[in-house]
Chain A
């Protein structure tokens, strides 16, 4: 403590402010300010290039967006996406992480291969998968499904099929994202003390029981983190939609972010877009709060 006080030169405050200033100014101008602006705009009727004067209209903008079937459908699509992708992708990532966590040769190569799609920009992934989903019996996905079902599969036009478009987008999103989760879970697995497994083995517990009673509880925090990050990512869904389907067919793949950008950018309805992003933020906030509570609970139990 004594050391600390002698070290604290009187001019630290000036240097500190000087060093923190660029970041603080940046965060204020490009995060805090637009964030506040989003809230304010959402209570107005601002439209770029509109002859009508901008005025406060209270919650009317919110009432308006929630009365739109396409926006309600967007919320539903995001929710469906999260409900399917989050558990499925986490389970696959966990399976891969467990397979890779064995001290066998060549695991680094497999890890590299599974991680590789994470490096691919989503815009590029979307473009490649448009071709993979090409309609007709010649399409890659169609012929693959035909092969594994021994010819039972009828060729489909995935991205123009109201029932298949969203699942098709889910598949490529999982393909791109699973490596990210896998690496985080692998780091979590490697921090599980090995004597816990040894103790369990001595007690005669089999692999499945070891997984249930050692691996899962030890990975609890990592799993919660990974699942909630993926949930937030599913609500941020935009790139794939813009490039592959434009929200169609029949709003089957539209998302909150797609609706918000369309309103603000294509229709110049700033206030409407802002209200949608506020709704988006509230969802993300809710998910984050759930994460905080769940992880705190775990800490309290320790």
Chain B
């Protein structure tokens, strides 16, 4: 089919150029053109990609270099070549600060938000999308309206609230405000609302209540949306900086983004150590990203398809 269209296309363009070239010649001419434009695309993409990942390579290579060389070689191509790589910087990070603690703090806080968030927001979305109840059509628009409030707009009063409750420098203050999330509810809602009615009918006829129906019927068929929401939540929370800067500077509860900002100013400033800190901080994200790439991209794209 495509072939046919291409030929008819050749015919029409060929006609306007006069009949100096036969169809065969036109086809090879066109193929050559395509090849040139293909090679051009690859060249442009490769140059862009190199410029693009340079900072990342710089960080990874720097983390294996002696501290003094990181700065000295930053201006030459040696910045991207590790000569005599060593793990010294990684060791230094553990010797200079309590990296394990910061890492655990980030894992615990992010993990708790993701797990409780999945449970709480999916249940709410199920109630709004598939159960009949009074008040549903009044409350749901309010939740949708809450989506336009960015966290930054409530950071100050929330800081006041948490300080008043005596929750500064606690895990609690870093976890509970972020479990319920209007946008997550919205994402679950859009997924649940289009599931066929027949799905739950059998279960309901057999006398299963909504809660059992949800966990036994809806959750198993909704893995893609759970994965998307989990990844989006993880991505946002792992990098969260503003809130923990305000509420959690204590070492016992300090998460990685705040920890690296402080480590970067900790004398003596050793860039190799800072780079090693950075690599260890982003490694879990990169691993998860490379494994679940498809979900990542879908999750991000789905957050954009709401126009």
A residues engaging B (CB < 8 A)?
3-4, 7-9, 11-13, 15-20, 22-27, 30-35, 37-38, 41, 46, 48, 96, 99-100, 102, 104, 106, 110-132, 134, 137-140, 142-143, 175, 180, 183-184, 186-188, 198, 201-202, 204, 221-222, 224-226, 229, 232, 236, 238-239, 242-243, 257, 260-261, 264-265, 270, 273-274, 276-278, 280-281, 284-285, 288, 295
Contact = CB atoms under 8 A, between A and B. Distances in A.
A96 B48 contact: yes
Given A110-B45, A115-B297, A202-B9, A34 B157 contact: yes
Interface in B133-164: 133-134, 136, 139, 143, 146, 148-150, 152-161, 163
Contact of B264 (A100, A229, A243, A270): A243
A260 B131 CA distance: 42
A7 B49 contact: no
Give the 8 A-B CB pairs with smallest separation, nearest first: A26-B180, A121-B239, A184-B304, A143-B75, A23-B124, A123-B257, A37-B157, A187-B301
Given A9-B204, A30-B177, A38-B157, A143 B282 contact: no
Interface string B285-307: 11001100100110011011111
A196 B124 CA distance: 41
Contacts of A281: 149-150, 153
Interface of B: 5, 8-9, 12-13, 16, 38, 41-42, 44-45, 48-49, 52-53, 55-56, 58-59, 62, 70-72, 74-76, 79, 120-121, 123-124, 126-128, 131-134, 136, 139, 143, 146, 148-150, 152-161, 163, 176-180, 182, 185, 197, 200-201, 204, 209-211, 214, 235, 238-239, 241-242, 245-246, 256-258, 260-261, 264, 271, 274-275, 278, 281-282, 285-286, 289-290, 293, 296-297, 300-301, 303-307
A23 B75 contact: no
A127 B150 contact: no
Contact of B146 (A27, A183, A239): A27
Contacts of B185: 23
Nearest to B178: A30
A19 B176 contact: no
Contact of A202 (B12, B55, B214, B235): B12
Contact of A128 (B59, B200, B246): B59
A247 B260 CA distance: 19
A46 B161 CA distance: 13
B307 A225 contact: yes
A121 B123 contact: no
Contact of B38 (A26, A104, A117): A104
B123 A22 contact: yes
B4 to A, nearest CB: 11
Given A121-B256, A124-B281, A142-B75, A31 B146 contact: yes
B143 A225 contact: no
Contacts of A188: 304
Q: In this complex, which of A104, A120, A221, A260 has the most chain B Cβ atoms within 10 angstroms of its Cβ?
A: A120
